[in-house]
Amino acid sequence: MGVGDGWPCADRAHAAFLYRLGTATVLVDSGEPISGLIDNAKIAADEIDAVLITHLHMDHVGGLFMLLQGLWLEGRTKPLPVHMPAEGIDPFRAMLRAGYVFDELLKFSLEFVPIKPGQPIRIGRSVRVTPFPTSHLAGLKKRFGGRNGPAFEAFSFLIESGRKRVVHSGDVGTVADLGPLLDRPADVLVCELAHVGLEELGEFLKGRKVKQVVLVHLPGLMWRDLPKTRRCAEKALGKTGFVIPTGGEVIAF
């Protein structure tokens, strides 16, 4: 749905990925303008079974308020769990109330669920999502954390359904953050490139079995010259298939 990086993007929506696995539909991250993208794609208000937030940077979560308002206005009735870093739950609930999206108004049950590293999240009958911590926010935590400071949590997700295994990087600190998620073969690796270099990624994937890589979150220089970026990806990834989506594509796996 959205593949932009953290900068304002005139031609890209921010991070938002809709996974259809078995009978479940899962939204990972909700960068703006996700509510409009959902409406444009003719996705029904009750279709999304769960929302997962990798971390609380605004390009990953900034569209969540309007998404929830839109689901209310569209008449959603099915319960919606929103899984996110624990420190974001109380502020988000407060902001929803400040914006007059009260629980009492909603026709559906809205539940915010704290993500716990390594603890699987069950979605419907067919999907299991296991969160793995990343070091994406380690620098901020070192500078501003302190004893009573924010936790600065960030996660990658291993998404499993039947025999399918999808690794969703979120934002990472180093490519090594993906190691625990790729200890077994993966059908798809959705990997950001704002904090990981292509050559670095290619070296890391040597000896690991990944059928397809979806490259997202490209920094501006890479985005503005996609032909060059594709050539670099071909060189770095070798025989591993890859896709560089521009937003709105359906990728089968």
Q: Is the pTM of this model over 0.75?
A: yes
Name the phi and psi angles at 66, rounded to 5: -70, -30
- pLDDT value of residue 253: 87
Q: What is the CA radius of gyration of the chain?
A: 18
- pLDDT value of residue 149: 77
Of 45-59, 136-150, 194-208, the range with the lowest mean pLDDT is 136-150
- pLDDT value of residue 103: 93
- pLDDT value of residue 57: 97
Using alpha carbons, list the distances in angstroms from residue 251 to 19, 96, 190, 208, 248. 10, 33, 11, 22, 10
- pLDDT value of residue 226: 96
CB-CB neighbours of 101 under 10 Å = 19
Which H, E and C letters describe 65-97, residue by residue? HHHHHHHHHCCCCCCEEEEECHHHHHHHHHHHH
- pLDDT value of residue 62: 97
Taking residues 81-109, report their average pLDDT. Answer: 96
Mean of all residue pLDDT scores within the chain: 95
73: left (phi over 0), alpha (psi -120 to 50) or beta: alpha
Look at residue 217 and tell me whether its pLDDT is greater than 80: yes
The H or E element spanning position 232 is helix 226-237
Look at residue 70 and tell me whether its pLDDT is greater than 80: yes
Using alpha carbons, list the distances in angstroms from residue 13 to 17, 51, 96. 11, 17, 22
Look at residue 73 and tell me whether its pLDDT is greater than 90: yes
In CATH, what class is 17-243?
Answer: alpha beta
pLDDT digits (tens, 9 = 90+) for 140-193: 999 998 777 789 999 999 999 999 999 999 999 999 999 999 999 999 999 999
Residue 135 CB contacts under 8 Å (≥ 6 apart), including other chains: 154, 172, 173, 174, 177
- Please tell me the number of Cα atoms within 13 Å of 42 on its side-chain side: 0
Look at residue 214 and tell me whether its pLDDT is greater than 80: yes
pLDDT digits (tens, 9 = 90+) for 5-45: 999 989 999 999 999 998 899 999 999 999 999 999 999 99
* Reported confidence tier of residue 115, pLDDT bands at 50, 70, 90: very high
